[in-house]
Amino acid sequence: MTKLTKRKITVAVIFGGVSSEHEVSRLSVTSVLQNLDREHYQVRMVGITKQGRWMLYTGPVEAISPGDWERLPEYLTPCVLSPDREHHGLLMLKGDGWEKLPVDVVFPVLHGRNGEDGTIQGLLELAGIPYVGCGVMASANCMDKDTAKRLFTAAGIPNARWITLTQVDLSRPEQVEKQILESFGYPAFVKPANAGSSVGVSRADDLASLKAALETAFAQDDKVIVEQAIEGAEVECAVIGNSSPAASDVIGEIVPVRALYDYEGKYLDGSTDLYIPARLGQEQTQTIRRYAVEAYKALGCQGLARVDFFALRDGKSVILNEINTMPGFTNISMYPKLMMASGFTYGALLDRLIRLALEG
């Protein structure tokens, strides 16, 4: 790594969060913490509980993934990330007062709501602290599946047809079904607009399954999309960079063992086969890489993102599915696997992401 300063860079690595993806954040951050070079970085571990409490954690890394870190009071100190730019970091509760802990850069290893939706990014912007990943606007736009699809469409990037629903539609499934049949027909996928990582996603094949899917999706979000089902290989491309982003040299293919590539299949139970590189021809691979960068730019992404596609069976066409602005970093996650297949080590990837954050 090229040294940016003569001293160690202080990195606050934030994990957990008030999110349906709290558990996978703990898995991701464990891999990140195990691969950060402690010769170059002073690491401050900051955990956010499901109840929203911020704690400076100084205990063993291996206690994070199972959730045991919260039950180790000897390693926990209440803290907050101060929006006051004079503090430029954390405030740790000590005795009757607060102690300043300066931070050079933040790595928010937070997935889903309150992590990828611009919320934590807004706090970091107020604080004036550089951070890994996309900014406020890009995070919010990528998180909202409806907004993202509108921007993809405006940029001329092919994506599945969809309709957008609000809470009032929950009470009129027959009218929703009529819209679906007029727009693209069954089967369809019903998704919360802002839940992230397949949480609350269901397939609908008829009115009965549509009703159940709507109930599931609206339990996660007030806005829901119903999307045309696409038949094709599920493939993913990693993108890295700020003003001159680059796609990973190779793309990956996902083959779910279960019918739906859901949250458990992605992160928890290993019921997914990965092919790196994807089993596609060169033309389709290059089309995916090109569209991945175009989508990244269209939504104003910075730092990193994973862009997901369907590769159609004609061997040429592709359909963009979604962008994830803080993709999983677990030991089975596609983003680090693709970057490592493209020449990075895990540690060098983290170095690059931190440099991109500091460069702005």
Please tell me whether residues 96 and 213 are part of one structural domain.
no
Rg of the chain (C-alpha set): 21
Report field, pTM of the whole predicted structure over 0.85: yes
Task: Give 3-state DSSP helix, strand, coil % of the chain, rounded to 5.
Answer: 35, 30, 40
Indicate whether 2 belongs to any domain. Answer: no
| DSSP states of 254-285 | EEESSSS--HIIIIIS--EEEESS-S--HHHH
Please tell me whether residues 352 and 245 are part of one structural domain.
yes
Least confidently predicted of 139-143, 161-165, 181-185, 330-334: 330-334
Reading the block at residue 261, the tokens are 């590539």
DSSP 66: T
The CA–CA distances, whole Å, from 110 to 19, 32, 139, 204, 337 equal: 9, 12, 12, 30, 19
Indicate whether 220 belongs to any domain. Answer: yes
Burial 158-176 (b: 16+ CB within 10 A, else e): ebbbbbbbeeebbeebeeb
Please tell me whether residues 240 and 288 are part of one structural domain.
yes
Give the CATH number, domain containing residue 184: 3.30.1490.20
pLDDT tens for residues 213-269?
999 999 999 999 999 999 999 999 999 999 999 999 999 999 987 555 444 545 455
The confidence score (pLDDT) of residue 264 equals: 52
Give the CATH number, domain containing residue 237: 3.30.470.20
The confidence score (pLDDT) of residue 290 equals: 98
Please tell me whether residues 216 and 293 are part of one structural domain.
no
Last residue in a domain, options 204, 228, 252: 228
Residue 2 clears pLDDT 60, i.e. is over it: no
Indicate whether 213 belongs to any domain. Answer: yes
Please tell me whether residues 253 and 321 are part of one structural domain.
yes
Residue 4 clears pLDDT 50, i.e. is over it: no
Please tell me whether residues 60 and 39 are part of one structural domain.
yes
Task: Pick the more confident residue, 73 or 259.
Answer: 73
Least confidently predicted of 118-127, 197-206, 290-299: 197-206
The confidence score (pLDDT) of residue 33 equals: 98
Task: Pick the more confident residue, 199 or 150.
Answer: 150
Please tell me whether residues 185 and 304 are part of one structural domain.
no
Please tell me whether residues 282 and 152 are part of one structural domain.
yes
The confidence score (pLDDT) of residue 1 equals: 47
Give the CATH number, domain containing residue 70: 3.40.50.20
- The structural domain count of the chain equals 3
Share of the chain above pLDDT 90, in %: 90
Indicate whether 214 belongs to any domain. Answer: yes
Please tell me whether residues 202 and 66 are part of one structural domain.
no
Name which of 251, 250, 234, 352 is nearest 302 in CA terms: 352
Please tell me whether residues 145 and 262 are part of one structural domain.
yes
Range of the domain at 178: 162-228
Indicate whether 54 belongs to any domain. Answer: yes
Please tell me whether residues 118 and 195 are part of one structural domain.
no
Task: Pick the more confident residue, 207 or 5.
Answer: 207
Indicate whether 337 belongs to any domain. Answer: yes
Please tell me whether residues 277 and 351 are part of one structural domain.
yes
Distance from C-alpha of 275 to C-alpha of 282, rounded to nearest angstrom: 15
Distance from C-alpha of 177 to C-alpha of 190, rounded to nearest angstrom: 12
Residue 3 clears pLDDT 80, i.e. is over it: no
pLDDT tens for residues 29-49?
999 999 999 999 999 999 999
Q: Are 57 and 69 in contact (CB under 8 A)?
A: yes
In this prediction, residues 156-184 reach a mean pLDDT of 98
| Catalytic center residues | 21, 197, 267, 306, 308, 322, 324, 328
Indicate whether 3 belongs to any domain. Answer: no
Residue 95 clears pLDDT 90, i.e. is over it: no
Last residue in a domain, options 131, 149, 182: 131
pLDDT tens for residues 191-206?
999 986 678 999 999 9
pLDDT band for position 5 (50/70/90)? very low
Helix/strand number for the chain, H first, E second: 10, 17
The confidence score (pLDDT) of residue 259 equals: 54
Residue 332 clears pLDDT 60, i.e. is over it: yes
Indicate whether 190 belongs to any domain. Answer: yes
Mean pLDDT computed over every residue of the chain: 94
Burial of 347 per CB tally in 10 Å (0-12, 13-18, 19+): middle
